[in-house]
Amino acid sequence: MNLYSALLRRTIFPWILKRDDRLSALRHWRFFEKSQYWSKQKLLDYQWMQLKKLLQYSYENSPYYAHIFRERG
């Protein structure tokens, strides 16, 4: 990585996101920067955890999915 690329990635890009009130984008970007080096098993574990959270949320907030989940066990 050259100096310009490092400066852009570590300083300018985060500053622009903060300035434009895009903090969620900054959080996602930092997460992807970190998680790209995870092992395959860690990625699978993370995906499974996120899927469980999504299904739990769907069950608790959607009458349709709550009915389907109860119906199918």
**Total-model pTM:** 0.65
Q: CB of 17 within 8 A of CB of 23? A: yes
* Ranges in the chain, pLDDT < 50: none
Give me 63's structure tokens: 């009458």
> How confident is the prediction for the chain on average, in pLDDT?
88
Question: Alpha carbon of 65 to those of 49, 51, 70, 72: distances in Å?
Answer: 19, 14, 8, 10
Per-residue pLDDT at 17:
77
At 31-48, the pLDDT tens digits run 998 999 999 999 999 999
Per-residue pLDDT at 1:
62
CA dihedral 32→38→44→50, nearest 10 degrees, is -40
